[in-house]
């Protein structure tokens, strides 16, 4: 029998800061939406789909992730996916969620901005009341596409009054450096948006440096490769730059060999401002609570460390000072 400590990870209030809503599409929902939309999937059944969840690197995952989005056609599809994530996240202790969406991945399939944004946003608007989870929507841009494409989509989002609070940068990292997106981040800053970017997942520590220096980001998504650069670590510690770490994702995409080799304990020991997040939970073997549980089981993460990670996630969020104070009080109780 498993014993429940006072700091059961399931009940620790956390902010989830690194989550792709399209990565919450569970196999069962993929089949249900395919049926509803009359889409023929290239897999006979759930087992055959699940056999594909064996990834060798980021790109091998992205190929399946983009392919499975084909089932998302209507506002209702986006709403159902979002509701399913929030319901599951609530049981994981998530009390605030900053949710990335990839508008370009839907536009390129002929799904309008209105459909994807309104579908997700309509559910986020009810989230605090329905699930006790405050939210922010982050428009993430695909770094393997051009900056012109990203700028065009950002302008369209601003013009339609999309309820986005921040921008991010995701997809294939290596070969698509931060320097490609300076004008995009300048425009987002001018529009009053908060700024984050994936860096140092598969790409080098220099992409973390350039995200800070060239893009002016406030937060780094992943960032585990920062450990290759001692000067960078010192700077990140000094400036309390948040790193949204995703342990199960790193194992499944082979950024680290096994969870036992994960650098999270070293990052904590170095004094880095790290949090634990699920990234694409339907693809990587679990939600935030599963990440915490496996870190505890494999790395012996202590209650003290868990509480620190939870506090870091709240401090590092883009929530209002009032909401942060509320969540910190809940954590301390
Ligand atoms: N890395 C980069 N791009 C992504 C990811 C990720 O883990 N998930 C969805 N898009
Ligand atoms: Zn990610």
Residue extents of the structural domains in the chain = 14-240
For residue 20, which atom of ligand 1 is closest to its CA?
9
Asked if pLDDT for residue 9 goes beyond 90, the answer is no
pLDDT at 151 (0 to 100): 99
Q: How far apart are CA 38 and CA 71, in angstroms?
A: 9
Q: How confident is the model at residue 48 (pLDDT cuts 50, 70, 90)?
A: very high
Q: What is the pTM of this model?
A: 0.96
Mutate to test the pocket of ligand 1, among 65, 224, 247, 280 (most ligand atoms within 8 A of CB): 280
Asked if pLDDT for residue 174 goes beyond 60, the answer is yes
% of the chain exceeding 70 in pLDDT: 97
pLDDT at 4 (0 to 100): 38
**Least distant ligand from the CA of 284:** 1
Rounded-to-10 torsion of CA 308, 309, 313, 315 = 20
Q: How far apart are CA 8 and CA 249, in angstroms?
A: 22
Mean pLDDT along residues 32-36? 98
How close is the Cα of 116 to the center of ligand 1, in Å?
18
The contacts of residue 196 (CB under 8 Å, 6+ apart) are: 138, 166, 167, 168, 169, 217, 218, 219, 220, 221, 244
Asked if pLDDT for residue 3 goes beyond 90, the answer is no
**Least distant ligand from the CA of 201:** 1
Q: What is the layout of strands, in order, in the sheet containing 134-142?
A: 14-20, 94-101, 134-142, 164-170, 194-199, 219-222, 242-245, 273-276
> Residue whose CA is closest, atom 10 of ligand 1?
171
List pLDDT tens digits, range 51-66: 999 999 999 999 999 9
How close is the Cα of 224 to the center of ligand 2, in Å?
12
Tell me what the pLDDT averaged over the chain comes to: 96
Enzyme catalytic residues: 201
For residue 170, which atom of ligand 1 is closest to its CA?
3
How close is the Cα of 90 to the center of ligand 2, in Å?
20
Q: How confident is the model at residue 219 (pLDDT cuts 50, 70, 90)?
A: very high
Q: Containing H/E element for 134? A: strand 134-142
> Residue whose CA is closest, atom 3 of ligand 1?
171
Residues, the chain: 333
Asked if pLDDT for residue 38 goes beyond 80, the answer is yes
Mean pLDDT along residues 73-98? 98
For residue 171, which atom of ligand 1 is closest to its CA?
3
Rg (CA), the chain: 19
- DSSP line for 29-62: HHHHHHHHTTPPPSSSSHHHHHTT---SSHHHHH
Asked if pLDDT for residue 226 goes beyond 80, the answer is yes
For residue 102, which atom of ligand 1 is closest to its CA?
10
- DSSP line for 256-315: SS-GGG-SHHHHHHTT-EEEE--BSHHHHT--HHHHHHHHHHHH---HHHHHHHHHHHHH
pLDDT at 1 (0 to 100): 31
Asked if pLDDT for residue 11 goes beyond 80, the answer is no
Q: Containing H/E element for 70? A: none
Choosing among 3.30.870.10, 3.20.20.140, 3.90.1180.10, 1.10.357.10, the CATH entry for 14-240 is: 3.20.20.140
Q: What residue ranges line ligand 1, CB within 6 angstroms?
A: 20, 23, 58, 65, 170-171, 198, 201, 249, 279-280
Asked if pLDDT for residue 332 goes beyond 50, the answer is yes
> Residue whose CA is closest, atom 2 of ligand 1?
171
| 187 three-class SS | helix
How close is the Cα of 135 to the center of ligand 1, in Å?
20
Mean pLDDT along residues 219-244? 98
pLDDT at 25 (0 to 100): 98
**Least distant ligand from the CA of 98:** 2
How close is the Cα of 2 to the center of ligand 1, in Å?
33
CA-wise closest residue to 274 among 8, 97, 14, 13 = 14
pLDDT at 106 (0 to 100): 98
List pLDDT tens digits, range 249-299: 999 999 999 999 999 999 999 999 999 999 999 999 999 999 999 999 999
């Amino acid at each position: 029998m498993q014993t429940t400590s006072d700091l059961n990870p399931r009940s620790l209030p956390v902010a989830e800061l690194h989550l792709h809503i399209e990565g919450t599409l569970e196999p069962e929902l993929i089949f249900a939406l395919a049926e509803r939309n009359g889409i023929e999937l290239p897999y006979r059944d759930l087992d055959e789909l699940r056999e594909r969840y064996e990834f060798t690197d980021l790109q091998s995952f992205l190929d399946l992730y983009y392919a499975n989005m084909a089932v998302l056609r209507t506002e209702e599809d986006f709403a159902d996916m979002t509701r399913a994530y929030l319901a599951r996240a609530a049981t994981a202790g998530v009390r605030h969620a900053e949710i990335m969406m990839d508008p370009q991945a839907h536009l390129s399939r002929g799904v309008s901005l209105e459909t994807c944004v309104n579908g997700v946003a309509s559910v986020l608007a009810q989230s605090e009341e329905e699930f006790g989870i405050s939210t922010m929507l982050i428009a993430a841009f695909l770094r393997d596409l051009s900056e012109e494409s990203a700028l065009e989509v950002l302008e369209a989002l601003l013009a339609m009054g999309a309820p986005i609070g921040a921008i991010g940068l995701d997809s294939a990292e290596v070969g698509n450096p931060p320097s490609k997106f300076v004008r995009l981040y300048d425009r987002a800053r001018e529009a009053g948006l908060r700024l984050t970017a994936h860096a140092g997942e598969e790409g080098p520590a220099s992409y973390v440096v350039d995200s800070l220096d060239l893009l002016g980001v406030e937060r780094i998504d992943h960032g585990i490769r920062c450990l290759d650069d001692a000067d960078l670590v010192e700077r990140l510690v000094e400036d309390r730059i948040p790193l949204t770490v995703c342990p199960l994702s790193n194992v499944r995409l082979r950024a680290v060999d096994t969870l036992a080799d994960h650098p999270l304990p070293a990052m904590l020991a170095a004094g880095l401002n790290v949090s634990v997040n699920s990234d694409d939970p339907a693809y990587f073997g679990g939600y935030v609570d599963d990440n915490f549980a496996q870190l505890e089981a494999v790395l012996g993460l202590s209650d003290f460390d868990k509480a620190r990670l939870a506090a870091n996630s709240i401090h590092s969020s883009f929530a209002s000072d009032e909401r942060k104070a509320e969540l910190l009080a809940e954590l301390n109780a």
